[in-house]
């Protein structure tokens, strides 16, 4: 079967570092993406990992370990505007053909002053 798990909520203080984990179980896996969504807004792309290791984009980094079926999003120097929901998304190529993107349930990040 397929599963995608991430924590439902995380709270951190401004200026801190927070890590949002994502574990997955799926066939045909080939990559993991992260999206950010503010209340009332649309999801926006943050990062993608196709290979094991760390990808860094400014204050945000994302990590993937294919052997552990695990990834995380790291947010540094937290700002109030980072309060949002963060989704991990698994990309897979089913045996039936085509491609499929499956989004996790999302992690709601609260940044406190």
Partner 1 sequence: DAGVIQSPRHEVTEMGQEVTLRCKPISGHNSLFWYRQTMMRGLELLIYFNNNVPIDDSGMPEDRFSAKMPNASFSTLKIQPSEPRDSAVYFCASSFGQGSDTQYFGPGTRLTVL
Where along the sequence are the contacts to partner 1 (CB under 8 A)? 30-31, 33, 41-45, 48, 50, 87, 91, 93, 97-106
DSSP per-residue string spanning the chain:
--EEE--SEEEEETT--EEEEEEEE-SSEEEEEEEEE-TTS--EEEEEESSSEEEEETTEEEEEETTTTEEEEEE-S--GGG-EEEEEEEEE--TTSS-EEEE---EEEEEE-
- Closest distance of CB 2 from partner 1, Å: 12
Which CB sits closer to partner 1, 14 or 52?
52
Is 15 or 50 the residue whose CB approaches partner 1 more closely? 50
Q: Quick one: 100 or 112, whose CB is closer to partner 1?
A: 100
């Amino acid at each position: 079967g397929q599963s995608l798990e991430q924590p439902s909520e995380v709270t951190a203080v401004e200026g801190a570092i927070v890590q949002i984990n994502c574990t997955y179980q799926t066939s045909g896996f080939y990559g993991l993406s992260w999206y950010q969504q503010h209340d009332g807004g649309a999801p926006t792309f943050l990062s993608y990992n196709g290979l094991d290791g760390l990808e860094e984009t400014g204050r945000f980094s994302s990590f993937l370990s294919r052997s552990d079926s695990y990834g995380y999003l790291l947010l540094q120097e937290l700002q109030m505007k980072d309060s949002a929901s963060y989704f991990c998304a698994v990309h897979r190529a089913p045996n039936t053909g085509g491609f499929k993107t499956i989004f996790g349930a999302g992690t709601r990040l609260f940044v406190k002053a």
